[in-house]
A and B are shown apart, each in its own frame.
Chain A
Amino acid sequence: MTEFEPKIVGFLCNWCAYAGADLAGVSRIQYPPNIRIVRVMCSGRVDPVFILEAFRSGADGVLVAGCHLPSDCHYISGNFKAHRRIMMLKKLLLQFGIEPERLRIEWVSASEGDKFATVIKDMTEEIKKLGPSPLKVQVEGLIYG
């Protein structure tokens, strides 16, 4: 059997985290190829619905990454809003039977290419340990089973 390769969806804000991911590239810092990045203008744009839909569609993990607290946010305070929302959503995930560790919020600045890569490495490792998302197993059962 092939090793479990988690699929992770990353919602990255345009100004800091996405730029940080770009810098990881420019600096050729290698990290596991498990993340699929979706660019949003602000981490505050990430609707809980997006995250739930990602899990429903088979994501094993979801990363939301934005500008550092307190004041790096390009839109002043979008990151605070994202933070509050994710913390609440983590609780909600438990009710769906999804381990809250599958959802992460991280702050990555435009000069932290290294940090971005580390976050992806860590997260990929952690989710590998958790195994495939319980929701994905259910959903795939429904669709293909």
Chain B
Amino acid sequence: MTFEPRIVGFLCNWCSYAGADLAGVSRISYPTNIRIIRLMCSGRVEPVIVLETLAQGADGVLVMGCHIGDCHYISGNLYAERKINVLKKLLARTSLEVGRLRLEWVSASEGGRFAELVKDFVEQIKALGPSPLAGDKPDKNILAGVLAAKAAAEDFRLRLLVGREKTMIDDGNVYGEKVSEEELDKILNEVIDTEFVRNRIYLLVKEKPLSVKELSERLDLDSKTVLRHVVVMRRRGLITVDRVEGTSPLYTALEVGR
């Protein structure tokens, strides 16, 4: 049997969704693999929802919005761009291929372009093969990664930074300094790294109490770094010491405050 990817498309109401409609009106055919979800604006694309979609086993996610400058809500698509950027960074830290997520601009008059893009994306996903999270036996390790990424995307600190990214680059920060893309990217990468690892730790110790050494093996991360995260998580009341076994304190997740 040939592999038929299941793709979820998040399309903005004013341009891309209209473009998809136009493809229909114009009877331009394209592969059947896409399931479209209408949003008012591509800026509504919520990283948590995208990650959940992937965790549920979608083989690909295609986000579409108005061309830059065309956004019905002035700059929603710019925010979408930032969010996809963060999503890609998050995905890069999981073992799921970043290529399963794509952002494109399609205007209301680009029915042809819409069909082309869908075709192209389906090819892209076919080349990648089925998602390791699809089917009855999703890859546990990768799923843990995606769920950690999802939890990280829920994190206040990360959302705050993403939310302010554009203002800080365009208008400058509270000190009136323009922050360069690279600089902000660096900060963002650090926060994403941190949050991703912490959420992986949280999910792991939620299953059963683990030591820093065990965590470090599971995460393939040096134990010194793991300990630093454990210290912060303990201070924030996310995890606590369950017991000490031999010379190893075992940590467990706390249910509160999340």
A-to-B contact residues, CB < 8 Å: 27-30
* Distance of A30 Cα from B257 Cα, bound (Å): 10
Do B235 and A27 touch across chains, with their CB atoms under 8 A apart? yes
The yes or no answer to B237 lying at the interface (CB within 8 A) is yes
A30 to B235 alpha-carbon distance, docked (Å)? 11
Give the 3 A-B residue pairs with the shortest CB-CB distance, closest first: A30-B256, A28-B237, A30-B237
Note all chain B residues with C-beta closer than 8 A to A27.
Answer: 235
Interchain nearest-CB distance for A122 vs B (Å): 14
CB distance from A28 to the nearest CB of B (A): 6
Contacts of A28 in B (CB 8 A): 237
A residues in contact with B256, CB < 8 Å: 30
Determine the distance from Cα of A109 to Cα of B210 in the docked complex, in whole angstroms.
Answer: 30
A21 CB to nearest B CB, Å: 17
Interface string of B222-258 (1 = CB under 8 A from A): 0000000000000101000000000000000000110
Q: How far is the CB of B172 from chain A (nearest CB, A)?
A: 34
A-B CB contact pairs (8 Å), 6 listed: A27-B235, A28-B237, A29-B237, A30-B237, A30-B256, A30-B257
Residue interface bits B16-30, CB-to-A below 8 A is 1, else 0: 000000000000000
Q: Which residues of A contact B237 (CB under 8 A)?
A: 28-30
Which residue of A has the minimal Cβ distance to B235?
A: A27
**Residue of A with least CB distance to B256:** A30
CA distance A28 to B254 in the complex (A): 13
User: What distance in Å separates the Cβ of A104 from its nearest Cβ neighbour in chain B?
Assistant: 22
Q: How far is the CA of A27 from the CA of B240 in the complex (A)?
A: 14
In the complex, what residues of B have CB within 8 A of residue A30's CB? 237, 256-257
